Amino acid sequence: MNYYCIPSCDKCRAARKLLQDKSIDHVEYNMRKDGIEASVLNGWIEKFGLETILNTRSATWRGIDDDTKARIASEPYEVIMSNPAMLHRPILDLGSELKLGKEALEWLATID
């Protein structure tokens, strides 16, 4: 499992703790420091849709100017990588599905 996070995010810290406490094998990616490979992000967009991975209810999203929001459909990788906090987080990439935000925490809590 690939775990994408922003270390200062409370939900990401909670997810990391669950991953460690339950000894769940994973690879961690700091979205600010490591970024997200273009092929990975574009794959998520193709498979799950941009509207699924963007957190349009967040303060981060509300703080983004209208021109940048308008560019996201044509330049999603560039726009998202300029501010990865606009994504739901944490992101658990299970290959066939993504677990995002609160759903990721709830899912991790169910694993024995």
Catalytic residue (choose from 1, 9, 14, 18): 9
- Name the packing angle between helices 101-110 and 10-21 (round to 10°): 20
Would residue 9 show up in a list of annotated catalytic residues for this protein? yes
**How many angstroms separate the CA atoms of 94 and 41, rounded?**
14
Backbone angles phi, psi at 36, to 5 degrees: -135, 130
Any bridge partners for residue 100, and if so which? 91
Q: What is the DSSP string of 36-86?
A: --HHHHHHHHHHH-HHHHB-TTSHHHHTS-HHHHHHTTTSHHHHHHH-GGG
Catalytic residue positions, numbered:
9
